[in-house]
Amino acid sequence: MKTLPRLLAACIAAALPMPALAAQTYALVVGVDHYPNDVSLDGAVQDAEDVYRSMNEAGFKAIKFTNEEARKDDIRKAWTDMVTEAAPGDTIIFTYAGHGAQMPELIPGDEADGLDEFLQLPGFDRNRYEETSKEIIVDNEMNAWFAEAEGKGVHVLFVSDSCFSGGMSRSIKGKTRLAPAVKVKLAPPSQEAISGANLKEADFKQVTVLAASLESQPTPEVIIDGQPRGALSWSFARAVEGSADRNGDGLITRIELEDYVFSNVKNRSEALQVPNFTPQVARSESEVVVTLTRGIPVKAEEGAAANTDAGRTVKTAKELGWTGTIALQIDGTAERPQHADGAGTPFRWDVASGVFYTPNGDVAAENVGPDRIQAVVDKFVLLDFLKAMASQNPGSVSLTPAKDIYAAGDRLRFDAPPGRYPNMLVFNLANTGEVQFLDMQAAGTNSSEFKLTDVEVVKPFGADHLITISTAEPVDAIGSVLADRNVTAETLLQALATRLDGKEASVAIQPLYTRETL
């Protein structure tokens, strides 16, 4: 499609000299779980509530529609009212969490793949299209909406946590935000669906779209903090809270948003998704997509860590929601390990087969007996701690070729570029629960990119997690712990909590899921 390749989006805003002079930001938030005529979802409304809360706290003028409230006429009126009220230089952010779907193109020759994409609202019934067609929002219609804002000099950020095509090779028990395609060619649901077809991506200079995943991928609901969620919505809510504002100036640039969202969607989806921006490249290095009208930095909350970088408050893992436990369902008879009495959607351990499953339904480890279960549990407790740290300061690493799962014999390359801090630790949390020390670079040494080249996938199979931590804090003591060949995840967690919790540190996480054959 043209402007909405996967109907997920982010927006643009003009660079302003000071947050105190920031233009107004408006927010239109839509989330749908309940689909009377289709498979319902579990986490889209929670996504909308989370995003709406973060936008209110940021000082945006926000309106929210969830479930049966999400009627096209009401959403369209809210958009029109925002465009009417907004002044040139203001921003409208439109977020959507729910089903997306495809249909034969409404205007012949309009789409390269012959398909239009649409957002599916609760009132739509594909078996009664003529009666319910006004309860979808087609990509062409959204082009027309965006053109109204751009014609007035208003910037648009569209963030849509849905999907339209793609398949996955990982075993996921959660739902995907993909409704069945409409197979037959239908009449356009509105005049806007016709006029919007004439608008091309190049016509928009003040619209940015952030998609939840690439066209070849689905958008699954994943478990975050024990609950079904959309990884993009969760990450965007944290970004708006200020976590994406690296320099604390109250403005989130396109580059800052990219760096933050790409890393955290990968972390929270366990590498099932790669977000997609349109346009693919920022229009300028200083292009602003979100203006935090209340301004950042904010005053530290009572009891919050006082350490800051560029005016940002650094919170501890517990302040970010880490509990030090995971939820675990044990199928069979076995003693419950420590730190496995948490709440929410559980991990699952099949005692008889020895298979340990993630809350998403992935195989995380094989051959897990009573002698190994504590190590595996402790690994995921530590991983949750690292994900909490990454949520406020994510780093960047890469695994090539990029896949959601790898088979025995596949060869890989892992790259961890130097961060903006002088010290770096690199280690692997293996699917066995073992901690494998890979590298340490400390201040005073020649900092360089860490690379693992031509790595072959071999047994045991499951989920490994390659970790890099960059910081200005001393890392020699942590490196000493890592260098112990018998170090456990629990011991490493204690060292990291003592030395880095609440301190400025960048964490990058690269999930690596493997199996014997695909």
pLDDT value at residue 442: 87
- CA dist 508 and 398 (Å) reads 9
Structure tokens at 419: 């961060």
- The pairing of strands 450-456 and 411-416 is antiparallel
- CA dist 161 and 373 (Å) reads 35
The residue ranking higher by pLDDT, 225 or 518, is 225
Encoded amino acid at 178, one letter: L
Tell whether the model's pLDDT for residue 21 goes beyond 50.
no
Contact 22, 250 (CB under 8 A): yes
Q: What architecture does CATH give domain 381-515?
A: Sandwich (2.60)
Mean pLDDT throughout 10-36? 68
**What percentage of the chain carries pLDDT values higher than 90?**
69
Within 8 A by CB and 6+ apart from 9, the residues are 94, 157, 158, 159, 160, 207, 208, 209, 210, 211, 278
pLDDT value at residue 307: 41
User: Is residue 299 very low, low, confident or very high in pLDDT (cuts 50, 70, 90)?
Assistant: very low
Q: What architecture does CATH give domain 19-291?
A: 3-Layer(aba) Sandwich (3.40)
Predicted model pTM: 0.88
Contact 30, 98 (CB under 8 A): yes
Least confident of 91-95, 255-259, 409-413, 440-444: 440-444
Tell whether the model's pLDDT for residue 1 goes beyond 60.
no
pLDDT value at residue 13: 34
Best-predicted range by mean pLDDT (176-190, 215-229, 462-476): 462-476
- Residues of CATH 2.60.40.10 domain(s) within the chain? 381-515
Least confident of 130-134, 224-228, 355-359, 500-504: 130-134
Least confident of 205-209, 322-326, 348-352, 429-433: 205-209
Mean pLDDT throughout 128-152? 92
Mean pLDDT throughout 127-131? 88
Tell whether the model's pLDDT for residue 16 goes beyond 70.
no
SS3 267: helix
Mean pLDDT throughout 471-478? 95
The residue ranking higher by pLDDT, 140 or 216, is 140
Tell whether the model's pLDDT for residue 305 goes beyond 70.
no
Mean pLDDT throughout 353-374? 97
The residue ranking higher by pLDDT, 82 or 130, is 82
Count of helix runs (H) and strand runs (E) in the chain? 10, 27
Contact 25, 94 (CB under 8 A): no
- CA dist 376 and 370 (Å) reads 10
Least confident of 127-136, 138-147, 210-219, 308-317: 308-317
pLDDT value at residue 113: 75
User: Is residue 308 very low, low, confident or very high in pLDDT (cuts 50, 70, 90)?
Assistant: very low
Q: Please give the helix or strand (H or E) that residue 52 lies within, else none.
A: helix 44-57
Best-predicted range by mean pLDDT (39-53, 209-223, 263-277): 39-53
**What percentage of the chain carries pLDDT values higher than 70?**
89
Q: What is the pLDDT of residues 35-88, one digit of tens each?
A: 999 999 999 999 999 999 999 999 999 999 999 999 999 999 999 999 999 999
Tell whether the model's pLDDT for residue 480 goes beyond 50.
yes
Least confident of 129-143, 191-205, 243-257: 191-205
pLDDT value at residue 446: 59
Least confident of 125-134, 231-240, 420-429: 125-134
- Residues of CATH 3.40.50.1460 domain(s) within the chain? 19-291
Tell whether the model's pLDDT for residue 185 goes beyond 60.
yes
pLDDT value at residue 178: 87
Edge-to-edge order in the sheet of strand 411-416: 398-400, 411-416, 450-456
pLDDT value at residue 167: 62
Mean pLDDT computed over every residue of the chain? 88
Encoded amino acid at 317, one letter: A
Structure tokens at 479: 């490196």
